[in-house]
Amino acid sequence: MSKTALWALAGLLVFGATSAGADTLETVKNRGELRCGVTTGFAGFSAPDGEGQWKGLDVDLCRAVAAAVLGDSSKFKAVPLSSQQRFTALQSGEIDLLARNTTVTLQRDAALGALSAGVNFYDGQGFLVPKALGVKSALELNGASVCMQTGTSNENTLADWARANNITYKPVVIEQFSEVVNAFAAGRCDVFTTDASGLASIRISRMSNPDDYVVLPELISKEPLGPFVRQGDDRWLNVVKWSLQAMINAEELGLTSENVENQLASKNPNVQRLLGVTEGAGKSLGLDEKWAFNIVKQVGNYGQSFERNVGMESALKIQRGLNAQWTQGGLMYGLPIR
């Protein structure tokens, strides 16, 4: 396809997205339910538990937006989507919000009729290999067969990295994520590549003997993961963006699901504004003044969500690292709510 045709198609997608998302906030309020696009199953980020309830770091963002808009974090519907389906579902209006471990890139913001609404997990692409392969570094993967999912940024990132490092490889590209995992587990490829968070999830939840596998130390990309909304609906963009920021700010201010009711009496002006004691933020967003209080009470702050889903309280045991608060050496920096 020529560049002219590509940009023409992009324009049509943006136009369609704008039409589909004229006023998502009112649509969600009138429907009484948030439709949230998630993965088809990614332990720690979005996956159904033994009782069929969707749980995970991304799902908590769905719950936070539902709590902010509808006052009830349970009023959302998880819509499982493959990587190929996710942006089409958002553009068409099938979902209101995409919270599906999706990397923020220029192309996605500029040419897919979508806009990123923040970063809820800083990640990077890595490699999972069987220990029996005897590989200690990604630079030793010359000639290896590499399993990956089609329709993701992983394909181009791997190609760029391999070219820069004079490494050849045989791609084993499969559409469905679960099928890629199965292919790797069955030995159809030497290596699995995706975001490091995904590798940790796969190793723990999908490999029969997790100790037989190791994640190599190199990260070959920056993968800031976060939610997306449709272009052309700034009010909805603000709702999603500031719902995430409310969780990040709550952790910085020491607000938790357990103490937030007592903190309504706090004299800290930042706490008062966040919790709606000092009115204004809710009205500006088109929400109840208790929008952020409901998020913290029903979902928790960012740190609580991180720890129970992917951190030390979870099976994944992922260190906070870049996802720690900025005061602790990380990149999580709550934007001012004022």
**What tens-digit pLDDT sequence spans the chain (338 residues)?**
433 333 344 444 444 444 443 699 999 999 999 999 999 888 999 999 999 999 999 999 999 999 999 999 999 999 999 988 999 999 999 999 999 999 999 999 999 999 999 999 999 999 999 999 999 999 999 999 999 998 788 899 999 999 999 999 999 999 888 899 999 999 999 999 999 998 998 999 899 999 999 999 999 999 999 999 999 999 999 999 999 999 999 999 999 999 999 999 999 999 999 999 999 999 999 999 999 999 999 999 999 999 999 999 999 999 999 999 999 999 999 999 99
- 54 and 160 co-located in one domain: no
- 118 and 242 co-located in one domain: yes
User: Does the residue 330 lie in any domain?
Assistant: no
Max CA separation in the chain (angstroms):
63
Phi (first) and psi of residue 293, to 5 degrees: -60, -45
- 101 and 235 co-located in one domain: yes
Q: Give the integer Cα–Cα distance in Å for 265 and 271.
A: 9
User: Does the residue 134 lie in any domain?
Assistant: yes
The token pair at 310 is: 């992917």
User: Does the residue 135 lie in any domain?
Assistant: yes
- 214 and 230 co-located in one domain: no
Q: Give the per-residue pLDDT at 75.
A: 98
Bridge pairing between strands 54-55 and 114-116: unpaired
- 130 and 89 co-located in one domain: no
- 167 and 205 co-located in one domain: yes
User: Does the residue 329 lie in any domain?
Assistant: no
265 burial level (CB within 10 Å; 0-12, 13-18, 19+):
exposed
pLDDT digits (tens, 9 = 90+) for 17-35: 444 436 999 999 999 999 9
Q: Give the per-residue pLDDT at 14.
A: 44
Other residues' Cβ atoms within 10 Å of the Cβ of residue 278: 14
The token pair at 238 is: 């603000």
Element containing residue 88 per DSSP (H, E): helix 86-92
- 173 and 200 co-located in one domain: yes
- 117 and 141 co-located in one domain: no
Sign of CA dihedral 226, 231, 236, 238: positive
Q: Give the per-residue pLDDT at 312.
A: 95
User: Does the residue 258 lie in any domain?
Assistant: yes
- 113 and 7 co-located in one domain: yes
Q: Give the per-residue pLDDT at 11.
A: 44
Q: What is the CATH number of the domain that holds 139?
A: 3.40.190.10
Q: Which domain holds residue 168?
A: 125-221
User: Does the residue 323 lie in any domain?
Assistant: no
| Total number of domains in the chain | 2
pLDDT digits (tens, 9 = 90+) for 125-161: 999 999 999 999 999 999 999 999 987 888 999 999 9
User: Does the residue 338 lie in any domain?
Assistant: no
Residues with Cβ < 8 Å from 110, sequence gap 6 or more? 10
Q: Give the per-residue pLDDT at 22.
A: 63
Find tokens 């913290």 and name the residue.
296
Other residues' Cβ atoms within 10 Å of the Cβ of residue 55: 20
Provide the CB-side half-sphere exposure for 55 (13 A, CA): 15
**Contacts by 44-53 with C-beta closer than 8 Å and gap 24+?**
44/197, 44/200, 44/201, 44/205, 44/309, 44/310, 44/314, 44/315, 44/316, 44/318, 45/101, 45/121, 45/197, 45/201, 45/309, 45/310, 46/78, 46/99, 46/100, 46/101, 47/205, 48/78
